Structure 1
Amino acid sequence: MFFDQITDKPKEECGVFGIYSHKEDVALTTYLGLFALQHRGQESTGIVVSDGVNVDIKRGMGLVTEVFRDGLPELPGHMAIGHVRYSTTGASLAINIQPLKVCYAGGNLSLSHNGNLTNAKKIREKLAQEGAVFQTSVDTEVIITLIARSRGATIEDKIAEAMRELTGAFSLVIMTDDKMFAVRDSYGYRPLCIGKLDTGYIISSETCALDAIGAAFVRDVLPGEVVVISSDQQEFTSYFFTPPREKLARCVFEYIYFARPDSVIDGQCVYQSRVAMGRQLAKENARIQADIVVSVPDSGTPAAIGYSLESGIPFLEGLIKNRYMGRTFIQPEQKKRANSVRMKLSAVKSLVEGKRVIMVDDSIVRGTTSGKIVRLLKDAGATEVHMCVSSPPVTYPCFYGIDTSVRKELIAATHTEQEICEYIGADSLHYISMAGLRQVFATKRAENMCYACFTGEYPETTDCNNKNIFE
């Protein structure tokens, strides 16, 4: 499993993007869209462009700006799809970079996937026994193989038939020689939305990418829906590959941490959700006496602001983030690795010295970094540090496209709240309650969220067949 080794945060899953337009520079627009989605994956990226007959593809390991430093795909096509990736299924190898592209009996077929299939291994083994040959180790190849091998009469039938074989999370952008498709799994685990330019349509993981290219938000792709785009100006069509579910399972961690705060997912603003989580934290911990509220930047900032607004305790930037320390920061020795938090964050001594500090963060996963940040504040002169977390304790792994580790590595799964508090050296530790978190989503049917990483109640029980992940 993979983590940001400095912040001890689970890695974002992936981001997908697509454009259909005869007027726009589709490669450049996709580049800009992927740049806006960079937070969802910083391991690799790729773009596939089509003119309806020919296909041009460029992919590579690294950030969007690194991979396309020497230029974009040169084909002047009218369709393009793109992808930014962190590996969830499949190793971090160049061969696994998306979008995937194949040529089959029906023509060219390209696909970008955000999510994680829970039955990929089973399907892969079955397809291999039937003669299918796999070039990668990613579950995305299972999807594209199912579509290509389907005996459905039309591409729409092929996609629907393939989707009904899958379990787990999948938000997809699919491109054929003449159409583009957006597909979302029937539980709606991962976000996916539709945008409109004057001269074409956009598909994106988040609305922040629509804003970046000046596209208008149309609507979210519905769980279980396949959206079909085959024209610049005519209205897109859609169909459902499965009947709508009574209860959905949208990932709550999108709102807590993963999504960009300026995105709106399924009608709910991410930033406002995080502020509401902070307000709820303050309501639940009104007895804490403190002088200032600080955040662990940047993901903890909206919740810290919410805490401040509700409690009346002033919010100050007591911790400053080094924004030039990116994914390429070199940590060649253990001693230097141990100091990495101090390279990433620094405390403002003049603000925290002699103060009782409430430190707000979005989550604690393994606990390896929280203690170092508490120590930063105390070394800067904070007299007390009370840590408040805008998510409940993470006690179970995620199977749907987030690397949250095997259960034994999740500190809240093996330690009490008091033990964690002592481990990180805080004067007190407070998580938002499950009831409080649900209250944040009360207007959006809180029961339609997936809380499995907190409760162990998985929407699909087949996910638990892999018992060793709980050890």
Structure 2
Amino acid sequence: MFDELHEECGVFGAYHVDEAAFSVYYGLHSLQHRGQEASGIAVYQDGRIETRKGKGLTIDVFNRPDLEQMKGRTAIGHVRYSTAGGQEAENIQPIVAHGHSGSIAIVHNGQIVNDMELRVELEQKGCIFQGTSDSEIILHMIMKERGSLLERVEKTARQLEGAFSFLVLQDDVIIAVRDKYGLRPLSYARNGEGYIISSETCAFEVQGIYDHVDVKPGEAVSFSRGLVRHHCYVDHPTSHMCAMEYIYFARPDSEIESINVHAFRKETGKMLARMDEDLDADLVIGVPDSSLSAAIGYAEESGVIMESGLVKNRFVTRTFIQPTQSLRDRGVRMKLTPVRDVVEGKSIVMIDDSIVRGTTSRRIVSLLKEAGAKEVHVRIASPIITSPCFYGVDTSTKKELIGANKTVEEIREYIQADSLKFMSCEDLKKAAGEVGLCTACFDGRYCSPLFSHEKSARGEE
């Protein structure tokens, strides 16, 4: 219902950590912003893999007795938002397979773009799929390869195209893998005598750990026999971190490729302010929560006061869907409420992270004007989204993107703003410094082949 990009999934692992299930539970709780559909944990204990998972938030899926029964010291976990594969129970991770080489569990963040080709090949070789997610493809490929676990994982990773960070658990071993383009973040940190691995560094800090090591693009990192070993499974890996990780997905207290997410967003706000030297405004308002850092940057650079002009109801979930337009409008009012005493009679700069379909921006502008705002100038802390993403973001067709079908002026008219400006790709890359970014959703320049998704990328059905 809400016009916003949906999060990726999140993965977390604990190797040789006391009460590993509890460690993973707290890690997943910190990564809950990356997926609220389902949660799961797999623990290696007494020579086997024990798994518990279910639909809903981590806090709803697990209770203390569940976690106390999972007594192993090595575990992996997952929070899910489905971008490839539906919401069926079979797609909830960790996914476990049992074979002659033993049991293997996997958790995966991202999206494989050659999934259809690999699925057909695996089915022709006799593989039977229980679900529809691309994560199960990775598991089948690892199971059919020969050699040590590390060799099988590396052989599999070399055949995958697209975005992925995944963890593999077998026996008392975890292997953490990041795609060769570096599209998805993955890091690990020392925890006592063991290690923890996470999609975002904010999950380390909740456990009192502030130092970490990034898994590099094209790396497989093995945690085995108390040792950590780095293995580069491809020649010439590249760095194309998803720009949306900085703009929207990641928590502001996370660090990605040595850049703090809050600092990145704040810098984009400052850049927007430099485009507005002649704008006479009374207030800066950020749309909670991901736009607040950019709003702070805009206010500092422009000298315009920042206020809390929109209040967010944090108990309206992303699954709140209503069938009619009037009920959808009411849903937006349930989620965001303007503060009349703050906005009435004021000329406002409204900072948001992105515009996807335009419907929510239109409703927020309308809410502010209903509350008495004299003018609403919308500033977007990212470029115009013009192209679908096939790396794990739920924008798969051009027709659903307002930026692919309207000019900036037409978008301004649609959302009923008094003015509208976006960042440029060049400024976005400047904010990232030396970190290479994937900006495909803004400029259509994909860093990998797209296989069966090529027609969608060109806007063809």
Task: Give the TM-score category using the shorter length.
Answer: over 0.9
Instruction: Give 1:335 shift.
Output: 2.5
| Match in the other structure for 1:221 | 215
Counterpart residue number, 2:356: 365
Residue 133 (structure 2) pairs with residue 141 (structure 1): no
Identity of aligned residues (%): 45
Amino acid at match of 1:229: F
2:281/2:304 contact within 8 Å kept: yes
User: Which residue pairs with 2:206 in the alignment?
Assistant: 212
Partner of 1:168: 162
Question: What is the CA-CA distance between 1:378 and the residue it aligns to?
Answer: 0.7
Correspondence for 1:428: 419
> Residue in 1 aligned with 2:445?
457
State how 1:3-402 maps to structure 2 within 5 Å. Answer: 5-6=1-2, 8-22=3-17, 24-51=18-45, 53-69=47-63, 71-73=65-67, 74-151=69-146, 153-231=147-225, 234-245=226-237, 247-327=238-318, 329=320, 331=322, 333-402=324-393
CA distance in 2: counterparts of 1:9 and 1:262, whole angstroms: 21
Give the C-alpha shift of residue 338 in structure 1: 2.2
Q: Is the 8 A contact 2:116 2:452 kept in 1?
A: no
Paired position in structure 2 for 1:439: 430
Secondary structure in 1 aligned to 2:206? helix
SS in 1 for 2:306: coil
Deviation at 1:71, TM superposition (A): 4.1
Tell me how far apart the structure 2 counterparts of residues 256 and 181 of structure 1 sit (CA, whole Å).
29
Q: State the AA in 2 paired with 1:58.
A: R
Question: Which one-letter code corresponds to 1:21 in the other structure?
Answer: H
After TM superposition, give the deviation of residue 70 of structure 1 in Å.
6.8
- Rounded Cα–Cα distance in structure 1 between residues aligned with 2:451 and 2:445: 10
TM-score normalized by the length of structure 1 = 0.94
CA separation in 2, counterparts of 1:244 and 1:209? 30
CA displacement at 1:285 relative to structure 2? 2.1
Rounded to whole Å, the distance in 2 between the matches of 1:55 and 1:465 is 36
Which shows bigger deviation, 85-94 or 63-72?
63-72
Contact 2:88–2:131 under 8 Å retained in 1 = no
1:213-256 CA-partner distances (Å, limit 9, x unpaired)? 2234331000111111114xx441121111232x4211010000
Q: How many angstroms does 1:465 deviate by?
A: 4.5
Number of positions where the alignment pairs a residue of Structure 1 with one of Structure 2: 458
Once the two structures are TM-superposed, the CA of residue 332 in structure 1 deviates from its matched residue by: 5.9
Alpha-carbon separation, structure 2, partners of 1:235 and 1:75? 23
- In structure 2, what is the Cα distance between the partners aligned to 1:30 and 1:131? 34
Q: Structure 1: how far apart are the matches of 2:345 and 2:450?
A: 53
From 462, 467, 471, the equivalent of 2:455 is 467
**What amino acid is the match of 2:90?**
I
Query: What secondary structure sits across from 2:159 in the alignment?
Result: coil
CA distance in 2 between counterparts of 1:380 and 1:308 reads 22
Q: Deviations over 1:315-372 (max 9, x none)?
A: 0001111122224546365422221111111111111111100000000000011011
Q: How far, CA to CA, are the matches of 2:450 and 2:396 in structure 1? A: 18
Whichever residue aligns with residue 353 of structure 2, its letter is D
Amino acid at match of 2:442: F
Instruction: Tell me if structure 2 keeps the 8 A contact 1:28–1:72.
Output: no
Taking the aligned partners of 2:52 and 2:138, their CA distance within structure 1 comes to 21
Say if 1:333 and 1:411 are closer, same or farther in 2 by CA, change over 3 A.
closer
Q: Which amino acid aligns with 2:72?
A: G
Amino acid in the other structure paired with 1:309: E
Q: Does 1:403 align with 2:397?
A: no
8 Å contact from structure 1 (residues 197, 216) kept in 2? no
Q: What's the secondary structure of 1:114's corresponding residue?
A: strand
Shift in Å, 1:468: 3.7
Whole-angstrom distance in 2 between the partners of 1:82 and 1:385 = 43
Distance 2:160 2:61 in 1: 31
Aligned-residue offset at 1:463: 4.6
Contact 1:19–1:26 under 8 Å retained in 2: yes
Query: Any stretches of 5+ residues in structure 2 without a counterpart?
Result: none
Query: Is this contact kept in 2: 1:396–1:453, CA < 8 A?
Result: yes
Q: Answer yes or no: is the 8 Å Cα contact 2:104–2:170 preserved in 1.
A: yes
Taking the aligned partners of 2:194 and 2:349, their CA distance within structure 1 comes to: 48
Q: Distance in 2 between matches of 1:375 and 1:209?
A: 37
Q: TM-score, normalised by structure 2?
A: 0.96
The alignment partner of 1:217 has SS state of coil
Is the alpha carbon distance of 1:170 and 1:328 closer, same or farther for their aligned partners in structure 2, counting shifts above 3 Å?
Answer: closer
In structure 2, C-alpha distance between the alignment counterparts of 1:464 and 1:328, rounded to whole Å: 29
Measured in 2, the distance between the counterparts of 1:371 and 1:178 equals: 52
C-alpha contact 1:390 1:432 (8 A) present in aligned 2: yes
SS in 2 for 1:103: strand
Distance 2:265 2:354 in 1: 12
Q: Structure 1 pair 465/54, CA: closer, same or farther in 2 (3 Å)?
A: closer
Distance 2:246 2:456 in 1: 29
